[in-house]
Structure 1
Amino acid sequence: MYRQRWRAPKGSQSYVELASTSAGIPDFRSSGGLYNSKLPDLPPGMKADELFDTPEPKKTAKFKASGRFLAALRIFTKSVEPTAAHKLIAKLFDRGVLSRCITQNIDGIQTRDRKDMSCVVLELHGTNARLLCNKCNKPPNLNENTLDKNLQQYGEARCTDCRRNTWENRLRSLSPGYLIPDIVFNQDSREHELAGMSLDQMQEVDGQADILLVVGTSLATPGAAALVRSLARRVHQHGGGVLYVSGAPPSGSGWSRYIDMRLEMDIEEWANDMLSRLNEGQGSTERSCAKVSDILTRDGMGELTSW
């Protein structure tokens, strides 16, 4: 199926969902993922998936275990190099053909060294790379490495802004807030906004794409699955197509109504192939992309979008 030719209209866009498991960062729901792992140093009776429950400082042991784990994950992520998939998304952005990258990852790798991409990268589950006070909602004014080491050891850290304001205003009865990762915890929801657009507005724009690329996700998360279905319907209404690239079939049934073509292969192998074709210097991005997968062959290809 990888070598099939798929004719599509001009003005092609693609959405790429980017996974980081190939970078050595475990996923959540697979058989070897975090939720199914026996992690050390958890309080008695606490399961791995509870590390992502809404933080409750009063539940001291659970709160500190989550803080230590997420700090350790943050420290590890800083040492991880971007994968071929990350580099592919960045290259498409640099060529001016990437209008959106929607990701379920919380590692922040895609924008870690590319802050200029923040305007097109929507992090559905937030990011563990950023800490915010749970009271004043401000980021910490502290050295990140020192803060993470302290969090990894003690499991909690107070907001210095809150502490300073408390003393300056003699509000000794008010305790400073806690620094919490800016992720969407299990019991939480979030109104997504990017570049001044709501999620509904983004779907209106992104649904006009000619190609929706869904890459490296099992679609096991209800919210992400619903978003893909919604975007796929919109893309189909505009005469576009949906390509799913992953090492395994998507979770659940009924995807044949939404996915036009499924490519089952290693994500890094696919991304490296894309990059090598784009780097061959054969002229335009349009011609290179068409040669890469043989499914994007067309008379002309306009802007690409990433999901």
Structure 2
Amino acid sequence: MVSLLLSQSSRESSFDESDASMGSRLTPQKNQTTSPKLDLRTERLYVIKELDTNDEKLIQINKMLNRSRKITVLTGAGISCNAGIPDFRSSSGLYEMVKKQFPEISMRSGQEMFDISLFRDELKISMFATFMEKLYSSVKLAQPTKTHRFIAHLKNRNKLLRCYTQNIDGLEENLGLEMSTNEQDPGVIGTSFNARWKNYDVVQLHGDLKTLACTRCFHVFPWNRYWCRSFRRGELPTCPQCEEKNFKRCQEGKRQIDNTGCLRPNIVLYGENHPSSDSIAQGLNLDISRGRSDFFIILGTSLKVDGIRKVVRQIAKQVHERGGIVLLINKTSIGDSSWHGLIDYQILTDCDSWVAHLQEQLPDFFKTQETIDRQKMLKRESSDLRKKKAAEQLAKNHIKTPPATPSRVKSEQEETSKNSIQNVKKRLLNVNDEIPSKKSRTNQAPIESPSTYANP
């Protein structure tokens, strides 16, 4: 049953939205068409261990997904593993690779590989640079997976509200999705925040590996071959912007700046402030208050980062208020207790396998919007043609000689009778002309007998 209670953020939104919500309460039929009928919310996290096509829960979840209007997606490293990009915490992830290549470095967890504190240790900086170059090289060769294409398909069907990603590979951009950009980008200055946020399909929560940023002036640069070789050697290249500034100061006779910045991948490390945190928080609140998402899918993440856990709680609350559910797809299980009442279902499987299962169960859901529009147009044309033929047939059945009225029939009969009498009179007159009357016959000369002519 769809909850009729609005969240505090929704109540603070525009008057029109409140009116729309009130209207949905007063018109049950409209409400039924805009919200799922199934009530699949759970009080405790329900775990589905395999993709069984006969599983009743899976069938109901798929039906609810098929009827959803707006879907919010959160993705982690698990959706990119099939593209050849290693994750961070699995047995074949980056953390295990680091321990094998740098056994002399003591690390308690994979998080230390991407912690800001590593810049205090030269050996850890070398390790960080080496693996960032490997990660960047693998991203350059990687192609979007079936899960990435599923997210792009949601966009094509106008069902995607927003995709929040922890990934730094940016593979979604290869499919034409609009990625969030740095707020200082000159291309976005001068436009309102709401307009910029509305255009973002994917919000990168942890930055972008495809660019480099200076540790001092924060100027952003694209990768090049020279800097790739520097990273491969375990060295962070110096910032050309800082070097140019120092050169100008030297020419002007000013004191040089000793602390020249280094280039590092433009990603957010643990323990440092997020440069776009305010914008992301503002956009998230905008999605929660006005987005009206009715389905939340979490793909390929174990939800270990505190900031991500907060994002999940906020979105899950709003989706539940809309009568929707929260679905987690991940190969490894997460702790149950902290997610009861927030995540409804977890399916223990690979993300691409789940998408393949959906394609098998919901073939119509994976039709492109162009195909759906074309089918609607053909159905509409077929319906118009049937109506036109029915109208023509109806008109044809009604085109007959109109029945004569009684007065008209009578007049026609009288006219026919009158004509018949006149014809009879005419015939009689003709007969009278041909037969001489008795008087005329007596006035005629007597007919002489043949003997008279014989004897003159």
TM-score by length of 1: 0.79
RMSD: 3.1
- 1:255 matched to 2:311? The reply is no
Structure 2 residue corresponding to 1:88, chosen from 132, 150, 168? 150
Tell me which residue corresponds to 2:85.
25
Distance, in Å, in 2 between the alignment partners of 1:189 and 1:173 is 24
- 1:14 matched to 2:71? The reply is yes
Tell me which residue corresponds to 2:52.
none
Structure 2 residue corresponding to 1:284, chosen from 372, 377, 385? 372
Distance, in Å, in 1 between the alignment partners of 2:345 and 2:210 is 34
How far the C-alpha of 1:273 sits from its partner, in A, is: 4.4
- 1:222 matched to 2:306? The reply is yes
Distance, in Å, in 2 between the alignment partners of 1:213 and 1:143 is 33
Structure 2 residue corresponding to 1:70, chosen from 121, 127, 132? 132
Paired residue total: 284
Gaps of 5+ in 1: 288-307
How far the C-alpha of 1:54 sits from its partner, in A, is: 0.6
Distance, in Å, in 2 between the alignment partners of 1:271 and 1:209 is 20
CA distance change for structure 1 residues 263 and 40 in 2, over 3 Å: closer, same or farther? closer
Distance, in Å, in 2 between the alignment partners of 1:8 and 1:82 is 23
Distance, in Å, in 2 between the alignment partners of 1:43 and 1:264 is 33
- What SS does the aligned partner of 1:148 have? helix
How far the C-alpha of 1:159 sits from its partner, in A, is: 0.8
Structure 2 residue corresponding to 1:99, chosen from 161, 172, 175? 161
For 1:120, the aligned partner's letter is: D
Structure 1 residue corresponding to 2:201, chosen from 103, 120, 135? 120
How far the C-alpha of 1:87 sits from its partner, in A, is: 1.2
- TM-superposition CA deviations, 1:88-142 (whole Å, max 9, x none): 11222234332211111122222256363442211222222221111111112x6
- What SS does the aligned partner of 1:3 have? helix
Distance, in Å, in 2 between the alignment partners of 1:187 and 1:196 is 18
Gaps of 5+ in 2: 1-56, 181-199, 376-456
Distance, in Å, in 2 between the alignment partners of 1:281 and 1:58 is 51
- What SS does the aligned partner of 1:136 have? coil
Structure 2 residue corresponding to 1:237, chosen from 321, 337, 345? 321
Distance, in Å, in 2 between the alignment partners of 1:110 and 1:281 is 18
Asked if the contact 1:220/1:251 (under 8 Å) is kept, the reply is no
- TM-superposition CA deviations, 1:157-187 (whole Å, max 9, x none): 1111111111012242434211121222122
Asked if the contact 1:34/1:49 (under 8 Å) is kept, the reply is no
For 1:3, the aligned partner's letter is: I
Distance, in Å, in 1 between the alignment partners of 2:230 and 2:328 is 41
Asked if the contact 1:217/1:250 (under 8 Å) is kept, the reply is no
For 1:62, the aligned partner's letter is: K
Q: Is the radius of gyration larger for structure 1 or structure 2?
A: 2
After the TM superposition, which residues 157-168 of structure 1 pair with which residues of structure 2 at under 5 Å, given as runs? Answer: 157-168=237-248
- 1:209 matched to 2:296? The reply is no
Distance, in Å, in 1 between the alignment partners of 2:248 and 2:285 is 43
Distance, in Å, in 2 between the alignment partners of 1:116 and 1:204 is 22
- What SS does the aligned partner of 1:15 have? strand
Asked if the contact 1:64/1:155 (under 8 Å) is kept, the reply is yes
Distance, in Å, in 1 between the alignment partners of 2:234 and 2:286 is 42
Distance, in Å, in 1 between the alignment partners of 2:322 and 2:338 is 21
Q: Percent identity?
A: 27
- 1:130 matched to 2:203? The reply is no
CA distance change for structure 1 residues 145 and 15 in 2, over 3 Å: closer, same or farther? farther
Distance, in Å, in 2 between the alignment partners of 1:192 and 1:122 is 11
CA distance change for structure 1 residues 57 and 225 in 2, over 3 Å: closer, same or farther? closer
Asked if the contact 1:249/1:264 (under 8 Å) is kept, the reply is yes
Tell me which residue corresponds to 1:42.
102
How far the C-alpha of 1:249 sits from its partner, in A, is: 3.1
Tell me which residue corresponds to 2:397.
none
- 1:151 matched to 2:151? The reply is no
After the TM superposition, which residues 291-306 of structure 1 pair with which residues of structure 2 at under 5 Å, given as runs? Answer: none
Asked if the contact 1:68/1:151 (under 8 Å) is kept, the reply is yes
For 2:218, the aligned partner's letter is: N
CA distance change for structure 1 residues 145 and 96 in 2, over 3 Å: closer, same or farther? farther
TM-score by length of 2: 0.55
Tell me which residue corresponds to 2:270.
186
Distance, in Å, in 1 between the alignment partners of 2:242 and 2:177 is 27
Distance, in Å, in 2 between the alignment partners of 1:155 and 1:284 is 53
Distance, in Å, in 1 between the alignment partners of 2:114 and 2:141 is 22
Distance, in Å, in 2 between the alignment partners of 1:265 and 1:115 is 26
Higher relative contact order structure (alpha carbons within 8 Å, sequence separation ≥ 6): 1
